[in-house]
Every structure is written in C-alpha cells, then in structure tokens.
Structure 1
Amino acid sequence: MKNYCYQLIILGKDFDIREAVINSLKDKVEEIGIDFNHFRIINDENFDEYTDASPSFCIYLGRNEENKQFADVELLKKIVVDASLVLPIVQGSLEDFNQCVPKIISTYNGLAVSDQDKDVKVEKIANNILEAFSLLRKNRRVFISYKRDESTSVAIQLYEALERSGFDVFLDTHSIRPSEPFQDELWHRMADSDVVVLLNTSNFLESMWTTKELAMANKLLLGMIVVSWPDHSIKDHRDAEISFPIQLKANDFNYEGKQLDDNVVDTIIENVESIRARTLAARRDNLISNFMKMAKFRGYAPQLDSYKIISMTKNNEEIVLVPAVGIPNSLNYESSSVFIEEIRKKKYEHVYILFDETCIRDYWLNHLKWLDSSLSVETLSILKVQKWLN
C-alpha cells in the first residue's frame, strides 16, 4: 500500500489559517504514528496532481465577497462532482456564510473562525480531517465520572456543553435506559469512550463505584481530564496513559458554587479535543504491541506497515489485521474494507479487526460473531490471540 495517500485539498482565499491547519494536522498525524509523507496537500497551483482514486478531503476558505467573485470555483465543482467531502471554513461569523462561499457549497455545514477562537477551531479542523480519512473515530465519545452527592450539577453542565460541541457523552443518569443492567452497560460504554472527564471532589475516592471507575479507566488506557476541586488533588490518575489535570479555584464557580464558569467549561472541552487523538493512538499502539509480542513468541513473523496494519503468514495463508479501538461495529468493517482492494492485490486471504473485548457486553460479542459470519472481514479479540495463534 505504498502508493496509497491522503489528499487534503485547500481552496479559496486564505485568511491566515491555511498553514496553521496544515501544521496542526502534521502534529496529530505524527502523534498517531503515520508518516506525513502519506499526505498530499493540493491547492490551485498543483491541482493537476489531484486524483479521484485516492481519499480526499477539501477545505474551502471563504471570506466575505460582496461582489461574489469567489476563488477556485471551477476546481471546487470538480471536487463536488467526485463526491469528495468538503468543509467550508469562513472568516468571522456564520451569519455571513452565504457571502463567503460559492453557491455550490452554500447548503453545506460550515465552520466559522475568528481571531478570538482561531487556535481552538484549528485543532477541531485537524481532527475533522483525520475523521474524514478514518484515521480518527467519527464517534467522539466522552465518559463523565463523578460522585453524585458532590458534583451532579457540574456533571450535567458538562454533559450538555460537550453534547453541544459534538461529543457523544455518557452520564449515568442520562445515558442508561431503565431496562438495561446498569453496571454492565456502564462498563460497556466506558470501553467505547475516548476520554474520561473525572470530577475530582473531596470524597471522590471514598465511593467504591467511583474508585472502580478510575481503576477501569486506567486499565482501558483511557485519556483523562482530571478536574480537581479547590484545595484537593488526586494521585491515582498517574497510571493513565494520557492525563491532563485542571486545578479549580474558588472563583471558577458560579451559581452558589453549583456550576463552573463558562471559561472553565471551554477549557475542559478544548483539552478533551486535544488529547483525544493521542488517547486513541496510545490504545491502538497497545493493541499492536501486545499482538506483536505474542505472535513473535509463538514463532511468527508479523510485519507492521506505515498505516499501523499488521500482516503475517499463518497456516500458509497471508492475513491482515486492522487494529480497532473501542467496540467494533459496522463502521469498523466498512473502513477496513477500504483496504480490501489493495489487500487482494497482495493476495492476503483473510482480514481481521483486532480489538479488546474487555468490558464489552455479551450481546455485542454475539452480534460481532454474526457479522463475522456474514462479511469478508472478521474480528479477533486480543484476549483470544494466544489460542488463535496456537
């Protein structure tokens, strides 16, 4: 798959954001562990290099153009016709959206960037690009861990704020249906989360359940945002693969101490966005390293390519394993299928999704077995690799 590349197309009129997006994307790609040489940056000057045979994502930079003389419209039409994803990014406010972009993308969901929120939006754009290329999960899942009698109002405040920012948030009082087994579903949802926001109140560790949540988050290698109440700290998050501490002060609260100031909420959301890619990369790398160690110990010779895909020979058959973080679903099967054409060219006979079944409920594992029997891609739990290798 050496010739396979990702095309980031940047069209329109720059408003001092283009290089910031590219640099942020480069940093995140390196964090994930992929060589940035697999990415090609395309603009109006080298558009002849664009091909519809490789994955592409287009950013259109729009500024207010009262005369409607938009840049690169013909090139943009080509991208739209090829059904490539397009993200309009406009300067200032979305209220001026139609004055900033050509009619052909006027119905697209766009993003506004101002001088005040440029850094935050650039990071969000970079994550959006990675999601579009299936290098970062589209399901942006956050788990809120808290002690009900100490921080319920803040937990609900963060739940609502994170939901507004496009995250799928787990909060026990809001996310588990009455008919579901509470604890099983809680662990199941934690296993599929990207980041834990831990509300570290004074008696957080005195609860058996919150202590178990902290231990399980560490076991699953989830990234953590540890929000500590004034005059209180925590050391038990030190085992987390990635952890970001936020120490609150007394003036960070309002409404008689029951909610956080909006600026603090924004900081929490920014850091969730920031560590998400690193958390997923760390969990995937852990899957890969554990598999590689077990396979080599058993005398196999697994190879890891630049896309973090494992290939090896087993029983005289060439196989490929695609690591997946969290709970495999139909999207994992679909995204893995992107590689099937290249895989078949190399005559690999089996494609597996490698995952960790820790905390995943039985009904979902049975669902995966059904998918395995129905599709050309199968799942393999890291917990069953030893038996599979034998």
Structure 2
Amino acid sequence: MNNAFEVVLIQILQRGEGIMHFGILVVEGPCSLMASRLQGWFDKQVQEILAPSGETLTIINAGQHKEVERFDRWLCVVNCDGHVDREESSIHGAAIGLAKRTGVPIFPVVSDLTNFGDLAPPYLSTFNGFQHTLGEPLDELGNLLLENMELLPSKRKIFISYARHESRAIALQLQQRLAARWYQAFLDTHTIRPGTNFQETLMQELSDSDLVILLDSPDIKNRPWVLEEIAFADRACLGTLQVVWPGHRRTIGAGFSEPLFLQEYGETPFLNPEALPKDQCLRPKILDDIISLVAHQRASAFRNREARMVDSVVKSVQTLGWNAVKHSGRYLALTKNEKLIPMETVLGLPDALRIQHAVERHHGCHLEKLPLLYDSQAITNAMADHLSFLEEGLGNIALISPQEVSPWIGQI
C-alpha cells in the first residue's frame, strides 16, 4: 500500500470520517406508528452492532426529508395505510420525489397487495409493494431494509434438513412458501442434479446457507446423513429452526436452534393425517408461523455466525500488534501504526457479485490485493478451483480463510 495513502486513511478514521451513517426516511401520516415501530426494531437488531465502529442508523420523517444529505446510505419506506397524501406537491410527495430522483430503494407498504392501486399514491405505481399489517412482526420488512444497506446478506438461502420417508411433502410445502418470500430454499431432491457427489454438495450448500430448518420427525435419530447435517450446523454456528413432531422428543445436537413444537397447535397439525407420513402436509397457519420464525431468527443467526468467524481473526491479529474494528456485515478495519487494511468478510461462498461489491467499496485502497475473509468449511474441490480461477483472473483480490490470516498479515 502507498504510505501516503495509508496516512490519509488513518487520519480519516481518527476524525470519524469514512464511517457509514445509515438513514431511513419514513413517509406516513401524523398518527401512524411505522417510524416508531421501525426505530424500536432497529434499536434491538443493529444499534449495538454498529456502535463499535462509530456507525449509526437514524430514522427520519417526511418533514425532515432534506436531512438525508447527512446520510452515506439511505432508503425510503412509505406507509401507504398511514394517510399518505396522494398529491405530489404535498410534503409527502416532495419526500418521495427526492427518493425517486436520488434513485434510492423505495418500499411502499400496504395492508393488502391485491388492493395496491387504491392504497398507494399514483406516483408509486411503478414500485413493487410490501404487504404488512399493523399487528404483524416487523422482521421481514426490517430484514429487507438491512439487506439494502448491506448489513445483512441479500441471497436469503435456507437449508431444509429432513427425512424423505417421513416429511417429504412438508419439505416441498416449505420450499414453495419460502420462494414466495424471496428465499432460496435448498432441498436435496430438487436442487442437486443427477451425477453430482451428493454428500459433498450437501455440506457445501449447508455451509453457504443463512439458516437451517430441521424437520425433526420421529425417525430422524436413525438417519445418519441428517445427524451429520445437524452436527455440521452446530460446528459452523448456523442458526437452526427445529420443527418438532407431535409426541416426539426433540433431537439433541443443534446448539444454535430454536424449537417449534407442533403439538402446541392442539388439534392435529396435519391437513391429511390419514395419509402416509411422507405425504402428510402442514396446515397453512403453521407454515406461516415457520416463515415468520425464519425471518425473526435470520438476522441474529447471521450475527452469531459472523462473530464466530470474525472474533477468532480479531484475536489472532491482535497478537501481532494490529487493532481491529468490525463493520458488521461488510469488513474488518485492521490498523497498526500508519497502516490500514480493510479485510472484507464473507459468510458462505464469496460469489462474483459479493466480490464486486467488496472491490467497489474499497476502490481507493492501494493494496495490491484486497483481502476477502471467507469460511472455507466444506467447500468442494470444484468450488475451490472456481474460487482460485476468480482470484487469479481478477488479480486484485486475495481469498483468505481464517486459518490463513496470521501468515498473510505477517507479510504486510
């Protein structure tokens, strides 16, 4: 790295410049509660995580829309059920107009998407809406906002672990429901192509997932592949939602799991209890609850896994005299004397788009190669070759596993 550039970057950090300040502009009527509810949700989810790096997330209303200039990154939420003025000349129209001219993401929120044309102002007709009612949890909307600010991965990958002979139909139900909420749901029988090394691919896909849904049916304890998936998820600190069958004792082994007991739904949870176990389907209400719990757990599961990977790296670089500040969901800022190394952090597989975002974020960095820290557990030989191809082809990145950090940074 160029020494003069290093000094400038250190000075920027010391002055507090270059630190991200995020903003959310909420447009709604004076008696609506979206802004205050979002503030409460974000206070629980991210404010404590942003604090170590000096970063902030602030919510403002339509009357404050000119203040967005102080944000490094912002987006707009329009509570269309909250008496939004339909005239573009109004203060609401001016706030939304600023968001449109700036090109930031705009999220029109309505209680009924089938009635979007009547609920949303006409100047939002070209935007996709989000359905949310006042009594529902904010997790799904909050996660979408975090993704757009790069504080949470946007690929939304869920791994479904199950025993085919007991819960095949339910696994398919969940895959379809998850797809309708913008998730990629990995299901072995529908995702792995014929001729592929089945178990290698399973573990790689598991490592690349945000969360595991374990269909904890009675015969799970006798399915070695499922037990291996549970053990791997535990080692990797992957969050697990454990859907426990009625009359079945919860399977032990998933340390980062939350249970959903089907017997708590009173009557049979199955639509067709007379069918063979593999053909039984869950009632719609239970499927909705599972999707809601996935949204609720996803952000905290990501933070736990990030902490597992990053905290070990922080300890190792500190023994070499480096200071480390975590910018959650994005990178570590490593400093020593007048040196600064931004080390991007990637949970799962570092795909081409994630690499592009990393390079663009640090385009002014004069490191010969930008380091990308990634979790290399369970990567297949074919994927390792692909990552080497990307690394060599681009020439300006260095893909590093946690075990390789100390030797790599020792050469700086």
- Return the TM-score normalized by structure 2: 0.84
Cα deviations by residue, 1:105-141 (Å, 9 ceiling, x for unpaired): 21111013234xx323x22111111000011111111
Residue 364 of structure 1: CA displacement? Answer: 2.3
Cα deviations by residue, 1:34-71 (Å, 9 ceiling, x for unpaired): 23961122322222221287211111121397994465
**1:206 partnered with 2:222:** yes
Percent of paired sites with the same residue: 24
Name the SS for the 2:195 alignment partner. coil
Residues 229-244 of structure 1: matches in 2 within 5 Å?
229-240=245-256, 243-244=257-258
Name the SS for the 1:252 alignment partner. coil
**1:76 partnered with 2:96:** yes
Residue of structure 2 equivalent to 1:151:
167
Q: Alignment length, in residue pairs?
A: 379
Distance of 1:137 and 1:366 partners within structure 2: 24
**1:58 partnered with 2:80:** no
Structure having greater relative contact order (Cα 8 Å, sep ≥ 6):
2
Residue of structure 1 equivalent to 2:259:
245
Name the SS for the 2:371 alignment partner. strand
- Return the TM-score normalized by structure 1: 0.88
Residue of structure 1 equivalent to 2:40:
23
Which of 377, 381, 400 is 1:358 aligned to? 377
Residue of structure 1 equivalent to 2:60:
42
Distance of 2:47 and 2:381 partners within structure 1: 36
Distance of 1:381 and 1:316 partners within structure 2: 25
Distance 1:236 1:386, change over 3 A: farther
Distance 1:75 1:354, change over 3 A: same
Residue of structure 2 equivalent to 1:129:
145
Residue of structure 2 equivalent to 1:369:
388
**CA RMSD of the aligned region, Å?**
2.7
Alpha-carbon contact 2:28-2:83 (below 8 Å) kept: no
Alpha-carbon contact 1:187-1:359 (below 8 Å) kept: yes
Residue 172 of structure 1: CA displacement? Answer: 0.6
Alpha-carbon contact 1:68-1:99 (below 8 Å) kept: no
Residues 202-351 of structure 1: matches in 2 within 5 Å?
202-240=218-256, 243-249=257-263, 251-256=268-273, 258-297=280-319, 299-305=320-326, 307=328, 309-312=331-334, 318-340=340-362, 344=365, 350-351=369-370
Post-superposition, which runs of at least 4 consecutive aligned residues in structure 1 deviate over 6 A? 64-67
| Structure 2, unpaired ranges of 5+ | 1-12, 275-279
Distance of 1:208 and 1:220 partners within structure 2: 18
Range that drifts further, 43-52 or 75-84: 43-52
Which of 101, 105, 116 is 1:97 aligned to? 116
Alpha-carbon contact 1:318-1:349 (below 8 Å) kept: no
Residue 238 of structure 1: CA displacement? Answer: 4.6
> AA paired with 2:288?
D
Residue 306 of structure 1: CA displacement? Answer: 5.0
Alpha-carbon contact 2:112-2:131 (below 8 Å) kept: yes
Distance of 2:26 and 2:325 partners within structure 1: 31
Name the SS for the 1:202 alignment partner. coil
Name the SS for the 1:51 alignment partner. helix
Alpha-carbon contact 1:87-1:110 (below 8 Å) kept: yes
Alpha-carbon contact 2:35-2:59 (below 8 Å) kept: no
Residue 26 of structure 1: CA displacement? Answer: 2.2
Residue 358 of structure 1: CA displacement? Answer: 0.5
Distance 1:351 1:315, change over 3 A: farther
> AA paired with 2:59?
I
Residue of structure 1 equivalent to 2:8:
none
Residue of structure 2 equivalent to 1:7:
23
Name the SS for the 2:106 alignment partner. strand
Alpha-carbon contact 2:216-2:243 (below 8 Å) kept: yes
Name the SS for the 2:175 alignment partner. helix
Residue 223 of structure 1: CA displacement? Answer: 0.4
Distance of 1:50 and 1:315 partners within structure 2: 35
Distance 1:13 1:266, change over 3 A: same
Residue 178 of structure 1: CA displacement? Answer: 1.3
Residue 19 of structure 1: CA displacement? Answer: 1.3
> AA paired with 2:401?
S
Distance 1:236 1:372, change over 3 A: same
> AA paired with 1:296?
Q
Alpha-carbon contact 1:21-1:123 (below 8 Å) kept: no
Alpha-carbon contact 2:24-2:76 (below 8 Å) kept: yes
Alpha-carbon contact 2:348-2:374 (below 8 Å) kept: yes
Residue 324 of structure 1: CA displacement? Answer: 1.3
Residue 323 of structure 1: CA displacement? Answer: 1.5
Residue of structure 2 equivalent to 1:388:
408
Distance 1:75 1:68, change over 3 A: closer
Distance of 1:207 and 1:362 partners within structure 2: 26
Distance 1:66 1:225, change over 3 A: closer
Distance 1:113 1:204, change over 3 A: same
Distance of 1:232 and 1:199 partners within structure 2: 11
Distance 1:65 1:306, change over 3 A: closer
